[in-house]
Amino acid sequence: MLHHSILQTLPPQLQKEAVESIQVMRFPPGKILFRAGEHCRGLPLMLSGAVKVQMTGASGNSIVLYRMGADDICTLSIGCLMTGYGYRAEAFVEEESEAAMVSRGLFDRLMDQSAAFRLGIMESYGRRLDDLMLLVEEVAFRRMDERLEEWLQVRRSPIHITHQELAVELGTAREVVSRLLKELERKGRVRLARGRIDVIKGV
């Protein structure tokens, strides 16, 4: 079955059509869903798993723009689907994921026939725009030590990640992350090991 909320709202006839036309794809961790420059073959509706979308600048540095999880829509693909331009970012599968791939034809049909589907798409776009606006603000103005601590706080220890990967999460350099982490370790806020960070519960 296709457990994606945007499909649940469709009238029976459309739902049947969707189920027939949609291909469910399964992606193992480490798989690249799409790369920068590639063309879009369909709109992925995330059924399960976790995918991070990141971009690499001219300098060669990368930054994670946002993540997608169950019930998300890969908004970025819509633009590529409609305009035919290539992706500007890259999507990396973090956890085993499933996605329902909606073809251009079906997408057009659903947009035409279902107000609820349209609403879902618009909301998804809105959220992504918001996310990116917040990210701009964050990158432009917030201090790296704060951002790092915040990032660490919202995960469950032990966190399995390298300093390099963490640098990409925050859009900074590996050395900066290493130094800040060392500082946190000195303060007793974290314990460090190769490829692993334990956040120590404070008061």
Structure tokens at 81: 């689907």
DSSP-derived 3-state class of residue 202:
coil
Q: Interaction with its own copies in 94-113: which residues (CB under 8 A)?
A: 108, 111-112
Question: SS3 sequence, 72-140?
Answer: CECHHHHHHHHHCCCCCCEEEEEEEEEEEEECHHHHHHHHHHCHHHHHHHHHHHHHHHHHHHHHHHHHH
Stretch that binds its own copies, among 57-65, 97-105, 148-156, 185-193 (CB under 8 A): 57-65
Total residues contacting its own copies by CB under 8 A comes to 43
- Compute how many other C-beta atoms are within 10 angstroms of the C-beta atom of residue 145: 13
**Of residues 13, 20, 194, 201, which one binds DNA by CB under 7 A?**
194
| Length, in residues, of the chain | 203
**Of residues 5, 61, 153, 164, which one binds its own copies by CB under 8 A?**
61
CB 196 → its own copies: shortest distance, Å?
26
Instruction: Give the integer Cα–Cα distance in Å for 35 and 26.
Output: 17
Position 180 contacts DNA (CB under 7 A):
yes
CB 111 → DNA: shortest distance, Å?
40
119 binds, among its own copies, DNA, none (CB under 5 to 8 A by kind): its own copies
Stretch that binds DNA, among 36-44, 47-55, 104-112, 140-148 (CB under 7 A): 140-148
Position 137 contacts DNA (CB under 7 A):
no
Position 134 contacts its own copies (CB under 8 A):
yes
Scored b (16 or more CB within 10 A) or e, 47-65 reads bebbbbbbbeeeeeebbbb
Interacting residue ranges for DNA, rule: CB under 7 A = 59, 61, 140-141, 143-145, 162-164, 171-176, 178-182, 192-196
